[in-house]
Structures are given as structure tokens and as C-alpha cells.
């Protein structure tokens, strides 16, 4: 009887997570922000994630009942409707995307790299690293790999960042057949260029 109750509880939370993952996948695939000004169900400022949860609950009795029972549980109680949950889901999806990208680049073997540095809104300089390769079907593909904060602008520092990033994706730098950088002297210089 206890095992049946545990299985029923597992099934319940699996169904909740299934709905939450679908909502996060749909919103992030459109590039929409998830977070709002607050995380209060029923608020007009709770963001796209909770808005989508509330919308789905209007047509899904299971989710409607979940919100009724667990919608405002307080700190330390599980409901899978908080930013912690969807941030972890986004992180897991991003990890999976990186795995697929690096596997595809390894299958293609040869690739080119596009690197550009730009400051973000808080004036932290970042390198955007993009990989271009050909798929098995022969079509070219260009994918964003990673945004990396830079600690300096010297070509050696930039080289270390790029080589470490590629190594973390298990992409072999020796297979790089093309490079594209912005016009900065530290990237395209004749003697000290990246």
C-alpha cells in the first residue's frame, strides 16, 4: 500500500514537470523572457512563464487543481512553479544543445570559427564564439557556441579563452579551417594577432 502511494506521488509530480517543461520549451524557443517583476500567481506582472501556466490551467483540470493546492506554498515547499525550477530546466536544455552542437561539429570534423568581442549592458567585455560547419547533408550551419567574459584583450589571453572553450566542448582546434574576427588589432594584427 505504501509503495502504491509512493508511485502515485511520483506520477503526480512527473505530470506537473511534464507540463512545466513544455511551457519552458515553447517560451524559450521563441526567445521570450520567462521572469516578470514578481512570482505571484494572478499578478499581471508575474512574467511569461506564470502567465503561460495560468493560461494552460484554464483548460487543463490537472494543472488547475495543482495551482489550487500548491500555488502559494511558501518558501521551502515544492510546487515546481518558481524561477528556480525553470532556470534549471533552461540550464539542462542548454547543456543538451551544447552536447548536440559539439557532436555535430566532431562529425563534420572541419569547422571555422567566428569571434567578436562586445561589452554587455554592465560594460563587461565578452567574446561571442560562433562555429560554422557543414552538416552531413552538405548544408552549411552556423551556431552560437558560447558567450565568454574576457579578462583581457591581448591576443594570447584571447587565444587561451578560445582554446579552452573549444576544449570544453571536445572540439579539436587543429580542425579549424577558417577564422573570422572583428577589426581589432589584437585579433587581426600581422605579428600579434589572434
- Please state the domain extents for the chain: 2-81, 101-188
For 13, the 3-state DSSP assignment is helix
Please tell me the predicted confidence (pLDDT) of residue 179. Answer: 86
Please tell me the predicted confidence (pLDDT) of residue 186. Answer: 60
Please tell me the predicted confidence (pLDDT) of residue 189. Answer: 60
Please tell me the predicted confidence (pLDDT) of residue 12. Answer: 93
Q: What angle do CA 31, 127, 144 make, to 5 degrees?
A: 40
pLDDT in tens, 75-84: 667 888 888 8
Please tell me the predicted confidence (pLDDT) of residue 43. Answer: 86
Please tell me the predicted confidence (pLDDT) of residue 184. Answer: 63
Per-residue pLDDT of the chain (194 residues; tens, 9 = 90+): 888 899 999 999 999 999 999 999 999 999 899 998 888 888 889 889 999 999 999 999 999 999 988 887 666 678 888 888 899 999 999 999 989 999 999 999 999 999 888 877 777 888 889 999 998 888 999 999 888 888 777 778 888 888 999 999 999 999 999 888 775 666 656 666 66
Please tell me the predicted confidence (pLDDT) of residue 151. Answer: 73
pTM comes to 0.75
Please tell me the predicted confidence (pLDDT) of residue 10. Answer: 93
What DSSP line would sit under 40-94, residue for residue?
-TT-TTSHHHHHHHHHHHHH-HHHHHHHHHHSS--TT---S-SHHHHHHHHHHHH
| Sheet of strand 140-149: strand arrangement | 140-149, 125-134, 111-119, 176-181
Please tell me the predicted confidence (pLDDT) of residue 126. Answer: 86
Q: What angle do CA 25, 28, 32 make, to 5 degrees?
A: 140
Amino acid at each position: 500500500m505504501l509503495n502504491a502511494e509512493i508511485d502515485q506521488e511520483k506520477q503526480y509530480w512527473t505530470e506537473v514537470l511534464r507540463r512545466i517543461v513544455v511551457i519552458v520549451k515553447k517560451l524559450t524557443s521563441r526567445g521570450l523572457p520567462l521572469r516578470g517583476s514578481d512570482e505571484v500567481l494572478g499578478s499581471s506582472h508575474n512574467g511569461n512563464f506564470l502567465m503561460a501556466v495560468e493560461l494552460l490551467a484554464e483548460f487543463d483540470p490537472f494543472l488547475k487543481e495543482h495551482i489550487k493546492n500548491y500555488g502559494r506554498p511558501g518558501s521551502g515547499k515544492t510546487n515546481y512553479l518558481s524561477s528556480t525550477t525553470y532556470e534549471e530546466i533552461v540550464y539542462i536544455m542548454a547543456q543538451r544543445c551544447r552536447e548536440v552542437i559539439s557532436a555535430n561539429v566532431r562529425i563534420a570534423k572541419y569547422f571555422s570559427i567566428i569571434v567578436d568581442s562586445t561589452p554587455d549592458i554592465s560594460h563587461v567585455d565578452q567574446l561571442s564564439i560562433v562555429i560554422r560547419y557543414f552538416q552531413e547533408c552538405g548544408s552549411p550551419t552556423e551556431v552560437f557556441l558560447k558567450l565568454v567574459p574576457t579578462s583581457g584583450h591581448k591576443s594570447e589571453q584571447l587565444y587561451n579563452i578560445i582554446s579552452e572553450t573549444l576544449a570544453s566542448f571536445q572540439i579539436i582546434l587543429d580542425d579549424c579551417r577558417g577564422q573570422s574576427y572583428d577589426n581589432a588589432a589584437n585579433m587581426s594584427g600581422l605579428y600579434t594577432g589572434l
